[in-house]
Amino acid sequence: MMNELSCFKAYDVRGRIPDQLNADIAYRIGRAYAEFLKPKNVVVGYDIRLTSQELCASLSRGLTEAGADVINIGQCGTEEVYFATSYLQADGGIIITASHNPADYNGMKFVREGSRPISGDTGLDEIKTLAEKSVFPAADKSGSISFEDTKPGYIDHLLGYVDVDGLKPLNIVCNAGNGGAGSAIDAIELFLPFNFIKLHHQADGTFPNGVPNPLLVENRQATIDAIQDNNADLGIAWDGDFDRCFFFDENGRFIEGYYIVGLLAQSFLAGEAGATIIHDPRLIWNTVEIARAGGGKAVQCKTGHAFIKERMRKEDAVYGGEMSAHHYFRDFFYCDSGMVPWLLVVELMAKSGKTLSELIDERVQAYPVSGEINRQIENPPELLATIEHKYSVQAESIDRTDGLGMTFTDWRFNLRLSNTEPVVRLNVESRGDAALMHEKTEELLALMQQA
């Protein structure tokens, strides 16, 4: 009889320990992954959670009993598995991580050769079915486990994104949230002219300072206080597996991810005229304008890492950005990294001679935004239909790339259902008119309240 595994999601595996995910399930996932992909070798790494090493051992046993060799790169961030899979030319990679989920959760993210993502429609559903059936053929021979330190190669790769000699000394507050980013900062700081003021730096899977998720407003204050107390030039915070990074300017202001997408687009276009930039549909005007001004092309794509990575490959895009702080790079195997973005931002500061607030303020004034507002709605399709009916007469264009996007002369909005939570997400922006943006945000929220 099949045992339904609720830990399989649209893009990855995530579940509460031990009822939704445990050593037995991890073993079955290893067997199923190997059965599906038939890899000769698989890179495996794990995050800082207390259950990660046990799950990694069971996953590895499943892989080796299926005949695959395991290359264990140890405790690391998600992007280090992406890096190692391509760097070592392995047939696949799996990271044990639950990123910013609560401490009693864990999970896995999967790639195949070339660090290509495996999600629902590219194999994850098949892996789920095989793991649920739990009937596996005997392998001709068992695989082996080897241990590889890919950190030096990874750090060397990161440094290749910037002109290290052109960087200026800075005081940088870095908040790892007791996740995995601390060890990466320790490894890279030896090569950089920065003074890092380290907060919640030690990896600790009990999360003594709260779950590492800088999108939670209550998690930001420690970073803000440290910037102000140390007269720092900027602050950076990461989620647990550090595939996302978040920025604070020298005044302690949290920077919306949308404006960072624009800055990174600007950085790449300065070095590669005519380059293609991929962006998500939630907030777009700033990115489109920056791409046009830099002689490049902005291409809109459905939200979600699998969609962005696929579109980047199709368009040969140099960079892809989501306002949720996921940033993707062609030279990083089209994968997302939480380390490359801040390196590019500090290089931009050095080249321009501007503070982070000076780089950002002009764009904030040109395109004020609501920030993403989440609401639980009982009947989302009905809400989207009601809002479309109300605004369609005035709308200049309607976009359904992801949810409902409607554009008017001086403002626009996007309303979409979350891929991972039972919520509707609203984003509003205007052309240089903060009062109009606030007015329209309140108007839409009132309609959502009635739904």
- Domain membership of residue 344 (yes or no) is yes
The DSSP string of 162-181 is S-GGG---EEEEEE-TTSSH
- Of 248, 222, 214, which is closest to residue 233 (Cα–Cα)? 248
Domain membership of residue 125 as a residue range? 13-150
Residue 208 preceded by cis peptide, ω within 30: no
Asked whether residue 128 falls in the same domain as residue 53, the answer is: yes
Asked whether residue 244 falls in the same domain as residue 262, the answer is: no
The type of residue at 286 is N
Q: pLDDT at position 1, please?
A: 43
CA distance 148 to 369: 45
Asked whether residue 239 falls in the same domain as residue 278, the answer is: no
Asked whether residue 124 falls in the same domain as residue 24, the answer is: yes
Strand partners, 321: 279, 327
99 labelled catalytic: yes
Rounded to a whole number, what is the largest CA-CA distance in the chain?
69
268 CB neighbour count, 10 Å cutoff: 22
Asked whether residue 240 falls in the same domain as residue 349, the answer is: no
State the residue for tokens 């990161």: 158
- Domain membership of residue 165 (yes or no) is no
Q: pLDDT at position 221, please?
A: 97
Estimate to the nearest angstrom the gap between the alpha carbon of 376 and the chain centroid.
Answer: 23
Of 99, 115, 337, 370, which is the active-site residue? Answer: 99
Is residue 109 exposed (0-12), middle (13-18) or buried (19+ Cβ within 10 Å)? Answer: buried
Asked whether residue 237 falls in the same domain as residue 290, the answer is: no
Last residue of a domain, one of 341, 361, 381: 361
- Domain membership of residue 301 (yes or no) is yes
CA distance 91 to 15: 26
- Domain membership of residue 92 (yes or no) is yes
Handedness of CA 189, 192, 195, 196 (dihedral sign): negative
The token pair that represents 54 in the structure block = 């046990």
Is residue 20 exposed (0-12), middle (13-18) or buried (19+ Cβ within 10 Å)? Answer: middle
CATH code, domain carrying 301: 3.40.120.10
- Domain membership of residue 116 (yes or no) is yes
Asked whether residue 117 falls in the same domain as residue 73, the answer is: yes
Asked whether residue 195 falls in the same domain as residue 226, the answer is: yes
**Tens-digit pLDDT string for the chain (451 aa):** 467 999 999 899 999 999 999 999 999 999 999 999 999 999 999 999 999 999 999 999 999 999 999 999 999 999 999 999 999 999 999 999 999 999 999 999 999 999 999 999 999 999 999 999 999 999 999 999 999 999 999 999 999 999 999 999 999 999 999 999 999 999 999 999 999 999 999 999 999 999 999 999 999 999 999 999 999 999 999 999 999 999 999 999 999 999 999 999 999 999 998 999 999 999 999 999 999 999 999 999 999 899 999 999 999 999 999 999 999 999 999 999 999 999 999 999 999 999 999 999 999 999 999 999 999 998 888 999 999 999 999 999 999 999 999 999 999 999 998 866 779 999 999 999 999 999 999 999 999 998 7
- Domain membership of residue 6 (yes or no) is no
Is residue 229 exposed (0-12), middle (13-18) or buried (19+ Cβ within 10 Å)? Answer: exposed
CATH code, domain carrying 378: 3.30.310.50
Contact 448, 375 (CB under 8 A): yes
Q: pLDDT at position 2, please?
A: 64
∠250-253-259 over CA atoms, to 5°? 100
Residues 6+ apart with CB under 8 A from 52: 46, 75, 96, 97, 106, 205
Contact 363, 344 (CB under 8 A): no
Asked whether residue 46 falls in the same domain as residue 108, the answer is: yes
pTM of the model: 0.96
Handedness of CA 424, 425, 428, 434 (dihedral sign): positive
Contact 98, 240 (CB under 8 A): yes
- Of 68, 102, 97, 63, which is closest to residue 82 (Cα–Cα)? 97
Last residue of a domain, one of 226, 248, 270: 248
- Kindly list the distances between the CA atom of residue 19 and the CA atoms of 4, 7, 99, 336, in Å, as whole numbers in the listed order: 12, 10, 19, 30
Last residue of a domain, one of 310, 333, 361: 361
Asked whether residue 177 falls in the same domain as residue 239, the answer is: yes
- Domain membership of residue 136 (yes or no) is yes
- Domain membership of residue 70 (yes or no) is yes
How many structural domains are present in the chain? 4
CA distance 412 to 402: 14
The token pair that represents 447 in the structure block = 């309609």
Q: pLDDT at position 420, please?
A: 65
Asked whether residue 291 falls in the same domain as residue 227, the answer is: no
The token pair that represents 431 in the structure block = 């052309």
The type of residue at 65 is E
Asked whether residue 134 falls in the same domain as residue 17, the answer is: yes
Q: pLDDT at position 418, please?
A: 81
